[in-house]
Structure 1
Amino acid sequence: MANACPIRLLQKTPASRLLLPYHHLVSDSVVPHIRHLYPYKGTKAFEADLDYLLKHFRPASLPEVMTAAKENRPLSGNSFLLTFDDGLREVADIIAPMLQRKGIPAVFFLNSAFLDNRSLFYKFKISLLIDALQQRPYSKSELQAAGQALNAAPGEDPAMALRRITWRSKDLADKAGEVLGLDFSAYLEKERPFLSLEQVGALVRQGFSIGGHSVDHPYYNELSLEEQVSQTRESVEFLVKHFGVDYRVFAFPHTDAGVSGAFFETVMQGEQAVDLVFGTGNQQKDMLPGILHRFNCERPDIGISSSTKGILLLNGLKSLAGRGAVKRT
């Protein structure tokens, strides 16, 4: 249905006023610490997406979006703002140069614990462990020991147990790494998967924007309200302190599902109030004008035309059914 609809028709829906597609990385190479987590686009597909967006939408900057949200008004015309999560090194190596050539602004959301490659995201450890299980000839006893370290059921594939690890149980990844002979510190030092502080500073000087993405990427529905607020403010204030930005924006890691209205009322008020919060609710409205919802568009098998049309059609149908906004408790 979406592909059959002309984009000009779908652009008349309220959700099309500001299109918010997000990615993590763009690469033509296999990235072991990500390959078992989610797919990503190569440079040709990404460039084709950029050209499509430029043809049908107007690139907006973060300051422009912030002003519109503060004034509680829609942006003029059909606009888009690109965002990228986790602060991966491909941002500096691949993404930013491509955006600069085409004159497209973007916001890069960063985890303060990972910058300068000070620590490795536990999900990346999981991907590396699964990769090792697939590539290395482990003995039966080694696999059993890995299963025990992961609290797996008897006979269960260790890879299945690895996928159950969450932020609360992230130490299990380190225990499995010891058993399976993976040196995460050495990998971090050699591969440098995250941006350095120097690289982030260069991006800011180039005119790009940055925002907080939590300290170390937990699932917010696993946290208490106090922990949610602490993770948010600490990641945002780190950027204000180190890079002197005069704005505060934040994007949820993973998802904002289950986060209460009290969280937004807390972090979006006071002396260190966050100006904008980005969720993952697929272009839906929320309880405050400063809460904006993005959609994932990095699956290599789906072009930006299909994802954009699908999201706009979905939002149009939801609005007609009276379900076009996120409900908070």
Structure 2
Amino acid sequence: MPYSKLTESAISLAAKGFWRTPYRFRLARAIGPSYSLRCVVFHNISDVQSPFTNGIRVTTTPKKFEGALRFITSYYVPVRLQDLLTNCDGRGLPPRAMLVTFDDAYASVAEWAAPLCRQFAVPAVFFVNAAFLDNQRLAPDNLVCYVANVLGMETIKAAVRAVPGRETFQLHSLTDVFGSFFPVISLREREAFLEALRQLAGINESRLANEACLYMTSKQLCNLGSFDFEIGNHTYTHTHFRSLSQQDFVSEVDRNKAELEALLGTKIRSFSQPYGSAEDLTCELAKHLERSGHQAIFLSESVANPRRLDLSHLNRISTCAPSDDALFFEIEVLPRLRAIRNRIFKTPLPFAAA
């Protein structure tokens, strides 16, 4: 959930104040308990403004991403997924261990992020939806975003009204689509909505996807191994789970894992929940992920991970921070404050993730 302008201004002022403090890391530790792993997630690395991504807060410019890597390598120790699996008690990890991850299948990760990660000697985990490789179709978020930016929210609302049983659902923004509508519908209902959207917008999705080239090719994905990237599971079609049948969520997990393993010739060992919410990590899903060989499960609620890691519930910070002070505040201060609030009120703070 995006912050209000007033909240953003307050956070910006606090970030600048913290960053100017000589003992800023010590001061951050005084706010809340230290934690053994910091984990950040990026999505699209691009200088180009695109109707497919404008409004969903997933894009970081290459310059800002390079700055983030410079910041990470100056103040943290980048680690690999294997380091987490080997040292889940947190004791074997280096001080200020940092895992860099990427979600979705954006081609910009191969074009910009991977070369920069290699330049700074930063390993990474890239969570991929196999359905969108080779640009034959669009991810639901990108299709919705494109229609909203080109034709407006009225077309989105009309598509919602075309879904039986959802005719009265009220939407006012893209945040409502991804935060309120998508979480409560089934895969069949989502497909009915997307098909109505294609028809109302007059879109040939395959041709549009091929022209946009938003996502990686299979060859690009295979080449990421040479950049010290490990590939993880991000579901087949990028979906919430809380409203899915067992048959549907098993298919989303297993099909993606099987296709990625067949393509890469390596085991998929980790899973990242689309949209990042613990509400989608149901008991049934967690059990299936464990049975199917996923050794680490990642969310994106921007909460501090405890010193003793829970590999079935690893939190990441979704960031588009424009500066060192903002990035420090997002990594060191806000996650601790959220962890404290969650312990007091037993409820997570709102967050934004894709």
Helix, strand or coil: the match of 2:203?
coil
The sequence identity of aligned pairs, in percent, is 21
Q: Name the structure 2 match of 1:245.
A: 266
Q: Name the structure 2 match of 1:313.
A: 336
CA contact (8 A) 2:42 2:58 kept: no
Aligned-partner Cα distance in 2 for 1:54–1:36: 30
1:266 to 276, 288, 291: 288
Counterparts of 1:1-329 in structure 2, within 5 Å, are 3-4=17-18, 6-10=24-28, 16-69=35-88, 73=91, 75-133=93-151, 148-151=158-161, 163=177, 166=182, 168-258=189-279, 259-269=281-291, 272-281=292-301, 282-285=303-306, 288-298=310-320, 300=322, 303-314=326-337, 317-318=340-341, 321=344
The 1:151/1:91 distance shift into structure 2, 3 A limit, reads: same
Q: CA deviation at 1:107?
A: 0.7
Helix, strand or coil: the match of 1:274?
coil
Deviates more, 1:43-52 or 1:309-318: 309-318
Q: CA deviation at 1:84?
A: 0.6
CA contact (8 A) 2:233 2:253 kept: yes
Question: Unaligned stretches of 5+ in structure 1?
Answer: 135-142
Q: Residue type matched to 1:218 in 2?
A: T
Q: Residue type matched to 2:245 in 1?
A: S
Q: CA deviation at 1:178?
A: 2.6
Helix, strand or coil: the match of 2:285?
helix
CA contact (8 A) 1:45 1:303 kept: no
Q: CA deviation at 1:175?
A: 2.3
CA contact (8 A) 1:109 1:213 kept: yes
Q: CA deviation at 1:205?
A: 2.9
Aligned-partner Cα distance in 2 for 1:78–1:17: 6
CA contact (8 A) 2:53 2:142 kept: yes
Helix, strand or coil: the match of 1:268?
helix
The 1:315/1:147 distance shift into structure 2, 3 A limit, reads: closer
Q: Name the structure 2 match of 1:139.
A: none
Question: Unaligned stretches of 5+ in structure 2?
Answer: 1-13, 350-354
Q: CA deviation at 1:324?
A: 10
Q: Residue type matched to 1:291 in 2?
A: H
Query: TM-score by structure 2 length?
Result: 0.76
Q: CA deviation at 1:63?
A: 1.5
Q: Residue type matched to 2:271 in 1?
A: F
Q: Name the structure 2 match of 1:138.
A: none
CA contact (8 A) 2:28 2:333 kept: no
Q: CA deviation at 1:89?
A: 0.6
CA contact (8 A) 1:33 1:127 kept: yes
Helix, strand or coil: the match of 1:221?
coil
Helix, strand or coil: the match of 1:83?
strand
* CA shift digits 1:91-139 (9 cap, x unpaired): 11111111111111111100121112232112211111112225xxxxx
Q: Residue type matched to 2:334 in 1?
A: I
Aligned-partner Cα distance in 2 for 1:146–1:318: 35
Aligned-partner Cα distance in 1 for 2:277–2:29: 26
CA contact (8 A) 1:221 1:257 kept: no
The 1:323/1:43 distance shift into structure 2, 3 A limit, reads: same
Q: Residue type matched to 2:84 in 1?
A: V
Aligned-partner Cα distance in 2 for 1:41–1:148: 31
CA contact (8 A) 2:36 2:90 kept: no
Q: CA deviation at 1:42?
A: 1.3
Deviates more, 1:75-84 or 1:114-123: 114-123
The 1:255/1:287 distance shift into structure 2, 3 A limit, reads: same
Helix, strand or coil: the match of 1:107?
strand
Q: CA RMSD in A?
A: 3.4
Aligned-partner Cα distance in 2 for 1:108–1:161: 25
CA contact (8 A) 2:297 2:311 kept: no
Helix, strand or coil: the match of 1:178?
helix
Q: Residue type matched to 1:56 in 2?
A: Y
Number of corresponding residues: 314
The 1:309/1:215 distance shift into structure 2, 3 A limit, reads: same
* CA shift digits 1:133-155 (9 cap, x unpaired): 25xxxxxxxx7x8865441879x
* CA shift digits 1:20-63 (9 cap, x unpaired): 11111121110221113225221222222211111111010122
